[in-house]
Structures are given as C-alpha cells and as structure tokens.
C-alpha cells in the first residue's frame, strides 16, 4: 500500500523547539501579546517584547521568567503612535536574525472624542496600522537576512463586516469609535495580504501570515501577577462567557501557530476553530472582502504617502526559494490536521 504523507495535527501543548531563533512581539507586555511571548519563550527562542512602557515590559519579563525556566526574553522600546519610534526600535533591537515578528499591539477606543497622534492621524488607525506598516519598513532588511522569516499580522473578527473609506482614512467625518477600530483592523488585514503578494513577486522567502484571536476577555484569562490579576469573583461571574469566547492565553494560539508551524504558508489566515471565536487555531478561508486587491493596493499607496515608508523586500542573495502558492481556501485545502 502506498504511504500517505500527512502533516501532524497541531498540538497547542506540544510546540516545536525553536532554540536559536528570535521573535519580536509588539505589545508583548500585556494581554494576548504577553501570552504569545510566554508561549514562544517556552520553545527556547529569544523573545523580544516591543513595548511603550519599560515598567510593564520588565513585569512581563519577570512573569515569563518565573514560569519558563531559562527563558530568554528582552525588551525594546516601541511606541507605534510615535512616527519616530519604529526606526529607533529596530536600531535598538541588537539582533543578527529575526525569525518572526508578531504585529499584535493594538488600541481600541470605546467612546468619543476622536483622538489624534501628534502628526494628525486618528489614533487607532495610526497605532494599529500605520505604526506597524512603518515597523515592517524598518525591519525589512533584518527579515530578508533571515531565510523563511515570518510577519504575523493580528486582525480581528470585527473587520469581517466592515469596509474601508479610503477617502477618509483619518476618520474626520462622522467619527464612530467602534467603526474606526474595525477599519483599522481591516486595514491591517488587507496590508498583510498585499504584503504576501509583494513578497512572492519579489521572490522573498519571508512569509506574511494573517491571524485573528477570536473573542478574548481578561476575566477568562489566568492570572499572571503582576501583569494581570483575576479575582475568583471575576472568574466565577464570567464563567458562562467561556462557552462563547476565551481567555487571552488561548487567544494567543493562532499567532503562536503562525510563527512556529512549518506547514503554514504565506497568505493564509488562522483563527479559532469554533465559529472564529474560541478554540484551537485552524487555517480558515479568507473572507471575501479580504481578497479585494484593488483596495489593498490603494491602501498600501495611501499608507506610503501618510508615513513616508514603503516596506520593500528582495530575495536573499543566492537563495533559491521553495515556497509554493498558498491555497487561500482554508484548512481542508492545506491538508493540515
């Protein structure tokens, strides 16, 4: 009987070792990013937390160190709302290779008033999308120098029913915070897929992968003192919500899989298995509006004009790539368990 090659089922509790590799997690000091960093640190890799708050980053490093024997975790200052910060962060990284960057940091405002960065951009669009766009511009040489490196962008279910207004990327007309947040996440998702197309066209070995964490609540998240404390009362009162959404420890798993799973391809999207809201990470079909290449190209051009950055990748010298096209059709097409 002929042997059938099957990729092993991804086990969130048995991650591959990644000693010698380096990963950067933006917003790694709190929330989902903290758990991405904690889980990646458990593989033996060096993990760098990109954080705008030194004290919070040091608390996260202490917490990870107390749970992961021999953890190699560092911190680099990064404020995505400050246009000067991404370049300075990359200069301060001090790494010879970068195997993956997880674009996780994000801000979500629930109430007006509309807030702006110093250079006049709406705060959520500037932090979540433009700041990461600029970061990837500055990281491109390091990622290119690391064959098979990965850029993992964190989208959101909130973007599923949203559309961009390319004529009002600063949200100056009819500002609604939840809509502006969802649009900023949609911008990140379109960016990730446009980046995938550009990486392929350039013959780069770097992969751009999209993830979304589902629904994640602090009240369903285990304590990690002093980073995050959950009382017994909170845990008990929110227990029923655990049927629908999950803690930030579980919400970190799509990004962790996107970083580590050798069978993940550029242009794929990973999210939680159960209704896209909770559960183990799986590769899922792209939502139809994410495949709108015209909008993605226009967004890229606008982001370049707004930031003065233009992430550019080349094939590493002398490297012959083996990456085939992504299926774009979810787990079944990708034959992953």
Q: Which stretch binds ligand NAP (CB under 6 A): 7-15, 51-59, 94-102, 202-210?
A: 51-59
Q: How far apart are CA 102 and CA 137, in angstroms?
A: 14
Q: Is 33 in the site for ligand NAP (CB under 6 A)?
A: yes
Site string for ligand NAP, 252-271 (x = CB under 6 A): --------------------
Determine the Cα angle at 5 with ends 1 and 146, to 5°: 155
Backbone angles phi, psi at 195, to 5 degrees: -60, -40
Toward ligand NAP, which CB reaches closer, 32 or 204? 32
Site string for ligand NAP, 199-238 (x = CB under 6 A): -------------xx-xx----------------------
CB of 323 to ligand NAP, least distance (A): 26
Sign of CA dihedral 10, 13, 18, 21: positive
The set of residues, in sequence order, having a beta carbon less than 8 Å from that of 217 and lying 6+ positions away, is 238, 241, 245, 246, 247, 248
Q: Is 106 in the site for ligand NAP (CB under 6 A)?
A: yes
Residue number, nearest CB to ligand NAP: 31
Toward ligand NAP, which CB reaches closer, 63 or 204? 63
Q: Is 307 in the site for ligand NAP (CB under 6 A)?
A: no
Q: H or E stretch including 26?
A: strand 22-26
Which has the closest alpha carbon to 193: 212, 175, 176?
Answer: 212
Catalytic residues: 181
Q: Is 53 in the site for ligand NAP (CB under 6 A)?
A: yes
Q: Is 250 in the site for ligand NAP (CB under 6 A)?
A: no
Toward ligand NAP, which CB reaches closer, 117 or 204? 117
Q: Would strands 278-284 and 269-274 be described as parallel, antiparallel, or unpaired? A: antiparallel
Q: H or E stretch including 231?
A: none
Q: Would strands 100-103 and 22-26 be described as parallel, antiparallel, or unpaired? A: parallel
């Amino acid at each position: 009987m002929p042997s059938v090659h099957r990729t092993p089922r991804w086990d969130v509790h048995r991650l591959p070792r990644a000693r010698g590799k380096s990963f950067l997690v933006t917003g790694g000091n709190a929330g989902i990013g903290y758990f991405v960093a904690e889980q990646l640190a458990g593989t033996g890799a060096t993990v760098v937390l990109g954080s705008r708050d030194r004290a919070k980053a040091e608390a996260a490093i202490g917490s990870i160190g107390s749970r992961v024997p021999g953890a190699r975790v560092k911190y680099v200052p990064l404020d995505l709302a400050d246009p000067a910060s991404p370049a300075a962060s990359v200069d301060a990284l001090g790494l010879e290779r970068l195997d993956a960057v997880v674009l996780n940091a994000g801000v979500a405002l629930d109430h007006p008033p509309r807030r702006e960065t110093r250079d006049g951009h709406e705060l959520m669009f500037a932090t979540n999308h433009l700041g990461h766009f600029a970061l990837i511009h500055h990281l491109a040489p390091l990622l290119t120098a690391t064959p098979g490196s990965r850029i993992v962008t964190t989208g959101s279910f909130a973007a599923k029913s949203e559309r961009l207004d390319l004529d009002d990327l600063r949200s100056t007309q009819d500002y609604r915070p939840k809509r502006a947040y969802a649009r900023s996440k949609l911008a990140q998702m379109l960016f990730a897929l446009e980046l995938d197309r550009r990486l392929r066209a350039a013959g780069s070995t770097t992969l751009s992968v999209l993830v979304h964490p589902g629904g994640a609540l602090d009240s369903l998240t285990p304590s990690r003192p002093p980073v995050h404390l959950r009382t017994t009362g909170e845990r008990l009162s929110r227990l029923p919500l655990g049927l629908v959404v999950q803690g930030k420890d579980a919400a970190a798993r799509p990004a962790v899989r996107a970083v580590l799973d050798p069978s993940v391809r550029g242009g794929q999207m990973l999210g939680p298995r159960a209704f896209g809201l909770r559960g183990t990470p799986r590769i899922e079909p792209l939502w139809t509006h994410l495949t709108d290449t015209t909008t993605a190209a226009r967004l890229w051009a606008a982001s370049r004009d707004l930031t003065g950055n233009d992430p550019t990748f080349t094939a590493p010298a002398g490297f012959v790539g083996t990456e085939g096209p992504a299926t774009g059709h979810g787990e079944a097409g990708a034959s992953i368990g």
